[in-house]
Amino acid sequence: MSINSCTDDYRVLSIQSHVVSGYVGNKSAVFPLQVLGFEVDAINSVQFSTHTGYEHWKGQVLDSRDLLTVFDGLVKNDLHKQYTHILTGYAKNESFLESVLEVVNTVKQANPGAIYLCDPVMGDNGQMYVPQELLPVYKDKIILIADILTPNQFEAELLTGIKINNDSDAIQAIDALHDLGIPTVVISSSNLSQNSSHMVAIGSSRANGHKERIKLSFPKLNATFTGTGDLFAALFLAWFTKTNKDLKTTCENVISTLQAILKSTYDYAVQQPGGAKSVKNTELRLIQSRAQLESPQNNIKAIELV
């Protein structure tokens, strides 16, 4: 495995949510990508005061016209031709999501080598938190043009119709997604660990002309965090590129980084009024974690699956 440190020509178009205060969506993805050497251009699918876990939040949901107006300004200046990567996450509006397809296809026509990572943000723990109408758009259109897909366990079940109760089910679901033409699929978090204090990530890639499957187990913390899936997707896109599509090292770097940031956030939260139960206290401490972003300690190891 070699690390590609030359990221001068890497530019990501990131389309996902924005919050004024806190870290989810683009606020969770842009800074880590920049720290790792990637230029990032961000388009926001929604603009909220905070994420919706707060007692009060306000903001706007962008639609298809909003997205295409902004993107058309990029196209008219030929700026869409510079994107080497596309990252998409949370969208709340069906028409907006439909137009993401047009944006990705336009970028890929201009630069056929552009890598598209789709984080199909729909829900978690058995509950959808976007309109049901978004599922068929993801399932029948968006994911079919993805190079990398990073669903959580619940989202993988929605996309495949396969109930995931064990590792075998997870691999079956991943293979079903491979069969749709998606080269790299990672279930970013699942409750498949035999130890209830841990979670599991399972990934599979056919991106380098050979099959690679890995599994990682990592500890839970006694708190609820937001923006972790968005951070996972951004870190995966960066490290998969920097390691020349080495799935094992990428996942180790990503999970190790995430765990370090969550531990730092938790340690901070428990010292504040309200402790780790406070939504405000558990906002990811990304700025304070720059060292961990740049140089993961890689203390969580993946095992290879056959």
> Taking a C-beta distance cutoff of 8 angstroms, is the pair 148, 115 a contact?
yes
Residue 6 has pLDDT above 70, yes or no: no
- Which has the closest alpha carbon to 60: 48, 51, 44? 48
Structural tokens at position 12: 């990501």
Q: What does the pLDDT read at residue 71?
A: 97
Q: Please state the separation of Cα 235 from the chain's center in Å.
A: 8
Measured CA distances, 276 to 194, 273, 279, 297 (Å): 26, 9, 8, 25
CATH architecture of 11-304: 3-Layer(aba) Sandwich (3.40)
Q: Which helix or strand (DSSP H or E) is residue 276 part of?
A: none
Q: Which helix or strand (DSSP H or E) is residue 211 part of?
A: none
Question: Mind listing the pLDDT tens digit for each residue in 50-109?
Answer: 998 899 999 999 999 999 999 999 999 999 999 999 999 999 889 999 999 999 999 999
Task: Report d(CA 223, CA 153) in Å as an integer.
Answer: 19
Question: Mind listing the pLDDT tens digit for each residue in 106-150?
Answer: 999 999 999 999 999 999 988 999 999 999 999 999 999 999 999
Q: What does the pLDDT read at residue 239?
A: 97
Residue 252 has pLDDT above 80, yes or no: yes
- Which has the closest alpha carbon to 252: 220, 300, 210, 214? 300
DSSP alpha helices (H): ranges in the chain? Answer: 25-35, 64-76, 94-110, 134-137, 153-160, 167-179, 228-242, 247-269, 290-294
* Three-state SS sequence of 53-100: CCCCCCEEECCHHHHHHHHHHHHHCCHHHHCCEEEECCCCCHHHHHHH
> Taking a C-beta distance cutoff of 8 angstroms, is the pair 33, 117 a contact?
no
- Which has the closest alpha carbon to 100: 47, 144, 130? 144
Residue among 66, 169, 230, 246 flagged as catalytic = 230
Task: Report d(CA 186, CA 153) in Å as an integer.
Answer: 10
Residue 210 has pLDDT above 70, yes or no: yes
Q: What does the pLDDT read at residue 194?
A: 79
- Which has the closest alpha carbon to 149: 175, 108, 111, 118? 118
Residue 267 catalytic? Answer: no
> Using alpha carbons only, how large is the chain's radius of gyration in Å?
18
Residue 156 has pLDDT above 80, yes or no: yes
Q: What average pLDDT is seen over the chain? A: 94
Phi, psi of 225 (to 5 degrees): -115, 150
Q: What does the pLDDT read at residue 7?
A: 56
Amino acid at 39: E
Measured CA distances, 19 to 155, 234, 285 (Å): 23, 17, 15
Q: Quick one: how many helices (H) and strands (E) in the chain?
A: 9, 12
Query: What is the DSSP code (8-state) at residue 198?
Result: E
Confidence of residue 195 (pLDDT cuts 50, 70, 90): confident
Query: How would you classify residue 254: left for phi > 0, otherwise alpha for psi between -120 and 50, otherwise beta?
Result: alpha
